[in-house]
Amino acid sequence: MACEGEKTYDDTGACPVCHMDLLTTASLTPELSEIGHSESSIFNLTSQWHTEEGEKILLEELKGQTLVMVMIYTTCKAACPRLVADMRRIEELVAKEGSDDVRYVLISIDPETDNPERLKAFAIENSMNGPQWTFLQGTIHSVRELANVLAVKYKQISPMDFSHSNIISVFNAEGILVHQQEGLGVDNEVIVQQIIKTSST
């Protein structure tokens, strides 16, 4: 049985970490779903999201571009500012290489606080309001669903504070995960090269 990356279990049941049902490794083999996406594509998620502009979108509407995704919340004072700085640095380095078919997506893990107006203000405050940037507000359920796909763990530890994983994920134009960078203060060179490679194929 396979769960969370390359970690495997011998028995059926639920993952002891995230408590999701374990899948057989055979079921993880990419196949086309009824709507034309690989089974491992994030575009199979049908939840609706609000952008920082107040528009309603499905993740499928981001199809066709390389996606660089990270989960944050705007009131975070510890890890999130460093993740935001990493995203800005990655975008800057990728743009210098002439790769402009890339969308940088920041998803809030605090949808009750981070409404479109707050996300828009945060984008402007951080100079992330160009067309290559997208901020998303979902529901508590849709955020948890996407977090499970991204292998991001988070937990609310106070009314305004969360503990969470620090992971930046790269998806190809079909919504298939191709790379993840985990941690803070990591050298961005590997992920930058992966984004450039992915966006050129």
Task: Please name the residue that has the structure tokens 């590997």.
Answer: 190
The answer to whether the pTM exceeds 0.85 is no
Containing structural domain, residue 152:
35-199
Residues 54 and 119 in one domain: yes
Residues 127 and 93 in one domain: yes
In tens, the pLDDT along 82-100 reads: 999 999 999 999 999 987 7
CA 190 vs CA 17, 30, 197: distances in Å: 28, 25, 11
Residues 72 and 152 in one domain: yes
Residue 99 confidence (pLDDT)? 79
Contacts of 35 (CB under 8 A, 6+ apart): 44
Residues 100 and 147 in one domain: yes
Residue 186 confidence (pLDDT)? 85
24 compared with 65, residue with greater pLDDT: 65
Q: 87 in the Ramachandran plot: left (φ > 0), alpha (ψ -120 to 50) or beta?
A: alpha
Q: How many domains does the chain have?
A: 2
Domain of 50, CATH number, reads 3.40.30.10
Q: Which of 38, 33, 37, 45 is nearest to 142 (CA)?
A: 45
Report the percentage of the chain scoring pLDDT > 70: 82
Residues 7 and 81 in one domain: no
Band of residue 38 on the pLDDT scale cut at 50, 70, 90:
confident
Residues 92 and 72 in one domain: yes
Minimum mean pLDDT range among 59-73, 107-121, 131-145, 152-166 = 152-166
Residues 55 and 22 in one domain: no
